[in-house]
A and B are shown apart, each in its own frame.
Chain A
Amino acid sequence: MIVCEQLTKNFRNYEMDPGVLGALKSFFHRRYRDIVAVDDFSLSIERGEFVGLLGPNGAGKTTLMKMFTGVVAPSAGRLEVLGFEPFDRSIAFRKRISLVMGQKSQLWWDIPARTSFELLRRYYEVESSIFEQRLKHLSELLEVEHLLNIHVRKLSLGERMKMELMASLLHEPDIIFLDEPTIGLDLVAQRNIRAFLRDYQREHGTTIILTSHYMADVHELCERVVLILQGQKRFDGTIEDFENLLGTDKFVSVEFKEPVDVTDSIWRPLQPKWNSDRTEVKLLVSDDEMRRTVSEILQTFPVVDFHTGKIPIEHVMETLLARPELVPLGKE
């Protein structure tokens, strides 16, 4: 469904020193800097997959999405989406994809979303009766029936994002590209959007490519993740394999009744992360050491609560961003 080989995108920026002198100097002499946003990137995605693209800001995720949708032209490499070359921008291709960007809107701000949807119906040539059915179905699922005739600028961010999702789904695309769809939303709104996307994908078997900085999005929705660092693919595999990248150690969170001694030797091998008043710590403990370590902590310190579990995906991500050498190039 999506195949890219050695895909590369270069941008050219220039640097400018601050102040009047900097502006004048830059006017006459540009200091150009070539940036490789996506570097020799190969990937294959099958029909019906829900794939998460992970990476820090500037890693190249959005650029990749824009190349997949034909918005920007690749500098080099081969790319095929649904059998089309995206930058050819054929009408048939554009009818079968959709892009949602959490920080941009395709809806007109000064009119109700319902009116913008009508325009989309005409763009995508959806029959009126089918369009009404889909509109009703989606608005019920997203619980926004009562908001369809409200001006978009009057909607909350969460409500607007639901409308953006509706706008992208009314023509039932084969592939949906979601670029940070939950950015800036509160926890409840994030959860609602996630639940909707999960149900929608199960119902329709649509291929969805998601980028998000919220690991909860990726963890709950994606079967497969692709890690991108500095434009290069550093990991491509299942979410379970990604979570186990740092090993199978368990994550232990312990809460104390009062501040404890952080210099105690017990903590040293456990990579402790303390809160500011030393009443809570997060530890990494191997399976073999679990029983002994927990028992020692319980006996030595005034513990009021503790939890164990797999290493959270956020921790894996944080560690990989700090130490990218842990995932060498080409790891799958």
Chain B
Amino acid sequence: MRVLKKYLHVYQAYFAMNLAQASSFRMHFVLVILVDIFFYASSLLSVSFIYDHVDTIGPWTREEFLFFVSFMLAIDHLHMMLVAHGYWEFSRELRTGDLDFKLLKPIGTLFPIFFDRVRPGSALLIFVPWGCLIYFGVQAGLSPLSWVLLPFLVVVAFTLAVSIQILIAMVMFWTIESIGINFLRMQLQSLSRWPDFVYLYFFRKFFTFFIPVLIVGSAPVKFLFDYSVWQPLALVCAMILLFFWLIRVFWRIGLRRYESASS
């Protein structure tokens, strides 16, 4: 409990610092909000546009599919607000040796590396993805239990998405340069924004069992629509544990490789 309290206290300070920093650059602050809104709108409109020409995609109606897109937007929103900046910073810190100071702080080092940059502007937009989730959830006829489970499943899916991306970021200990890794990360994120049934068999299996990006959104949304489809959700939980373990292993190996740029 004491440890959890410490992390919460530290996170409060991160938020305050990022807010102070963001308020120093007002134009940038507004621009980030506009870009986020554009992203949300384009994601929803592109699917809506497809449904203007077809009645169903796979087993899902327009409302079900837009609920899925909104679910992924809620994950993206958390991701952009809480973690996205950390991957780029990690690479810079590895190259410049600025990682040294984070390594010295008496806290789990992955926490300041990936979570110390918060985007307060994105926090203001929380009503957009959650508004869409509620709207399309009602349209899709979500059951009362599904409404209760919804926030928890967003957090579970977000945890898997972040775990995959942090594990991929560990490769930067070897590559140092981050552009390739960060683009790979973003491409995988793009793949997960579509439900798994739109992909071909082998492609789907690979991105379910090897790099499990396709179950990030598909598994919890399928479960919310039909509780008998619980196996993919169980796989999500298993993958989270596996990825936590892999991150730990690769972090230890990576740290041994870290040379810290000369000062």
Name A's B-contacting residues (CB within 8 A): 11, 58, 62, 66, 69-73, 89, 91-92, 94-95, 97-99, 101-104, 106, 108, 110-112, 115-116, 118-119, 122-125, 151, 179-180
Contacts and interface: CB of A to CB of B under 8 A. Distances in A.
Contact of A104 (B13, B24, B100): B100
Given A71-B100, A104-B97, A111-B17, A124 B10 contact: no
Given A69-B100, A89-B255, 10 more contacts: A58-B262, A66-B260, A71-B258, A72-B260, A99-B104, A102-B263, A108-B17, A111-B20, A119-B17, A122-B13
Contacts, number: 81
B107 interface: yes
Given A62-B262, A62-B263, A123-B105, A101 B100 contact: yes
Contacts of A108: 17, 21
A69 B99 CA distance: 13
A102 B256 CA distance: 25
B259 interface: yes
B197 to A, nearest CB: 42
Nearest to B12: A122
By size class, the interface of chain B is 20 to 34
Contacts of A62: 262-263
Contacts of A106: 101
Contact of A89 (B10, B98, B103): B103
Given A66-B100, A116-B17, A123 B106 contact: yes
B14 interface: yes
B9 interface: yes
A122 B104 contact: no
Chain B residues touching A, majority SS: helix
Nearest to B2: A125
Interface in B109-125: 109
B259 A111 contact: no
Nearest to B22: A110
Given A91-B106, A104-B101, A119 B21 contact: no
B21 A110 contact: yes
